[in-house]
Structure 1
Amino acid sequence: MDSKVILRGQNLRREFSSGDTTVTAVKNCTVEIAAHEFVAIVGKSGSGKSTLVNLLSGLDVPTSGTVTLLGKDLSTLSEKELAGLRARHIGFVLQKDNLVPSLTIEENVAAPLVMGGTRLSVALRRARATLDDVGLGHRADRWPSEVSDGEAQRAAVARACAGSPAVVFADEPTGALDEENGKRVREIFRRLTAEHGAAGVIITHDMDLADEADIIITISNGETTGRVDRRT
């Protein structure tokens, strides 16, 4: 995948209504993200970071504006087509690892691949290779309850990257970890997204974490207020 823009949100606005009250969570947001870019979306709690990422990932629908992934306008897709696009081209890492306790670490990483139509044997082989990349090959046969919090979150990163998605979103992926494990997860996340050719997008209010990104996008009161390219 080259350095062209693979994800674009254009003039995004998201309103939520409750009775006679309308709250605008995102407004006038335009974001462009290219392959291999490691992007941090920063802002205070309630600034609209998560809403913006929900729109960019197709988990939510904008009140107005468009989201384009790999040249496809998400608003033109059916629910089935959108779910398929997310499964094939988007990876997610949450603050909590959300591993399935009844599956081994390897099976957890392989599960999204299988659900996306990959044969089980192929999915398990790819899962093992990705676990090796994050230093967890020796823990592949363990249950989630048998690994540390840091190892579980590294497994979650592996799960998000195993399918070689176009974009990997991470919502405060290190928020529940100690400093050492948090640093390791950040380093692995960045390396995997770079090596797999994906764009990596992290939501955070931690500027120390943001400082490790190539691009910093600031959102305040629902609006993107700046984009800093730290590579220049």
Structure 2
Amino acid sequence: MTTTTSQRRGFTLMETVIAIGVLAVLLSAFLTVFGPATSGIRRALSAQEADRLASTLEKELGTLRPNEKFTGGGGQTVGTAFDKAFDWIKNAKKDGNKPSDGTILIYQYRADPTKMRDDGSLAAYTNAGSGIAGSDYVIQSAVRRRKDSNNPKNDEYLKEDLKSLEGRVFAVCATQLVFKTNGLELGESGQIKDPKPPNNPATDATQYTEAVIAFSADFYGVPSTAYQYITGAGFTNSALQTPIFTRNLAARR
């Protein structure tokens, strides 16, 4: 009786090395083709986010909310969006070693589409961890100030919104653009002046004779989203060293 033994031969070392080499070439070709495309997508998303933040800020500066009041010349309470824009741009600054109370905050939060606040914003959706997006809640962009005496509910609503936060909080500091020797240049932080020489200062919107306030807005990422941090003494200028991006914008009468 004859017994036949089957012998299976494995891959030789040379065959293994060749296979690894072919795989490396294929991976290199894949990364060469799709790597730049992936980077382009990331850049496009970043540009899209920057556009959203800038347009959200401009829209808010053009909106006077029902419970906002701003004092103009002669101590009269005036109610125009331009008065608001003047005040916000002037006071969105770094004040000493910390951001000023007028520092602008931009963020997105989960909002209840069935509940409207007295300032025209949607109430925060409080059922954390539940609900269906687009049905029970919507993602809403919001613009508020770090502290705002012109909006009595600002601090309360900011605290509520941060509990339903979606994503990051961005801080904005603004500086007016004025005409100088080389064209439009940065003015002085915390001041609004006639943009044309001799650049006389204006204390409020009634003293500002131009129809447009051109300004540069620096957008920063806030390192913490806690209400106590954002409104407290721990939020210093060390957190606002380098802006994520800067946009030249305008507020119009």
Q: TM-score, normalised by structure 2?
A: 0.23
User: Which protein, 1 or 2, shows the higher relative CO under an 8 Å CA cutoff with sep ≥ 6?
Assistant: 1
Q: TM-score, normalised by structure 1?
A: 0.25
Greater helix proportion: 1
